[in-house]
Amino acid sequence: MYHLRLIGSFAKISAQNEMAYRANFWISLLNSALNLVTGILGVWVLFEQIETLNGWDLPATLAILGVYLSVGALRGLFISPSLDTLTGMDGEVWTGKFDFTLLKPVDVQFQASFRHWHPLALIDLALGLGVLYLAVSQMGSSFTAGSLLSFAVALAIAMTLLYAILLVFAGLVFWSPGFLFTWVFDGIFQMARYPVGIYPTWLQWLLTWLVPIGIITTVPAEAFTGNLNLSMLVGSGLFALVAVICASLVFRLGVRRYASASS
């Protein structure tokens, strides 16, 4: 309860902070629109030339894009703004400002994960879900309570997994403060805007097991195609759980290595 109240005040402060810069709203809107338009046109150009791609047609590929955009939006809502303050050349670990975070009487991992919010990411979330809605109605499948529920569960699992990955990267910063772990991951994560099934087999394997971005976007989209069975859901849920536990361990080990900066 206490933690939920804290999240509430973190979100409120962040929202007030952002509202102070009104022009930012328009820039943010422009970037959301660009993201949406490039995503959709990218898929459209492809399906102007061909009917199906390794068994994926236009609506199914658009559904993946919708999930990709929604996952990216949820990440931009709090995970990235919070964790990114640790990393990089002006990050807290490099500059030693992490001292102040450690001194606060709240769990470090909780603070590091929830303290900054970016409410404008909700626009991206609406756009992403909109793309998904259009794609699913094109497929001819209807929205039932069951499919919506399994989508919500699968999306929660996907976000947990993504959070675990980003938390590991945030933890690794304590070993190598200047390394751009997230930049590398972001590059690879872009591959998730298309179904993993269209990549060569070795890359599919890599994208499912080594960097599980396939699970992050493909599994939630499958909730609407009817390909999602309970064992898949439970299996990926367990996988996400193990990933979060391991990630927390890495992060905590990292925090113990922290030796502040300079004197």
Partner 1 sequence: MNPRGGWALIKRTWASWMQHRSFFFLLAFGWMIPPLIYLFVWSTAAGGETVGGLTRGEFVAYYLILILVNQLTYAQTNWTVGDLIRDGSMNVWLLRPMSPIYNALSTEIAGKVVYMLFTAPVALVLAIFLRPEATFSLGNTLLFIPSLLFAWALRFFWGYWLALLAYWTTRAQAFLSLQDSLIFLLGGQVAPMVLLPGSMAWIARLLPFRYMVGFPVEVLMGILPSDELVFGLIAQAGWMVMAMALYLFLWCIGTRRYEAVGG
Burial 61-82 (b: 16+ CB within 10 A, else e): bbbbbbbbbbbbbbbbbbbbbb
Among 1, 4, 20, 45, binds partner 1 (CB under 8 A): 45
Q: Out of 16, 17, 137, 190, which residue is the one contacting partner 1 (CB under 8 A)? A: 190
Contact status, residue 69 vs residue 35, Cβ threshold 8 Å: yes
CA atoms within 13 A on the CB side of 83: 25
Residues 1, 20, 50, 145: which binds partner 1 (CB under 8 A)?
Answer: 50
The yes or no reply on residue 183 touching partner 1 (CB under 8 A) is: yes
Residue with smaller CB distance to partner 1, 185 or 239: 185
Q: Is 199 in the site for partner 1 (CB under 8 A)?
A: yes
Which member of 4, 22, 48, 103 binds partner 1 (CB under 8 A)? Answer: 48
Q: Is residue 53 involved in binding partner 1 (CB under 8 A)?
A: yes
- 163 vs 70: CA distance, rounded Å: 14
Give the three-class secondary structure for 85.
coil
Stretch that binds partner 1, among 50-58, 108-116, 132-140, 211-219 (CB under 8 A): 50-58
Smaller CB separation from partner 1, 88 or 254: 88
Residue 143 Cα distances to 137, 151, 255, 262, angstroms: 8, 10, 45, 57
In angstroms, the CA 88 to CA 91 distance is: 5
* Distance in angstroms (rounded) separating the CA atoms of residues 204 and 188: 12
Task: Tell me: does residue 15 bind partner 1 (CB under 8 A).
Answer: no
199 close to 191: Cβ distance less than 8 angstroms = yes
**In sequence order, what are the beta bridge partners of 53?**
56
Q: Does 180 bind partner 1 (CB under 8 A)?
A: yes
Where in 78-137 is the site for partner 1 (CB under 8 A)? none
For partner 1, give the closer residue by CB, 8 or 187: 187
Is 25 a binding residue for partner 1 by CB under 8 A? The answer is no
- Residues in contact with partner 1 by CB under 8 A are 23, 27, 30-31, 34, 37-38, 41-42, 44-46, 48-50, 53-54, 178-180, 183-184, 186-188, 190-191, 193-194, 198-200, 203
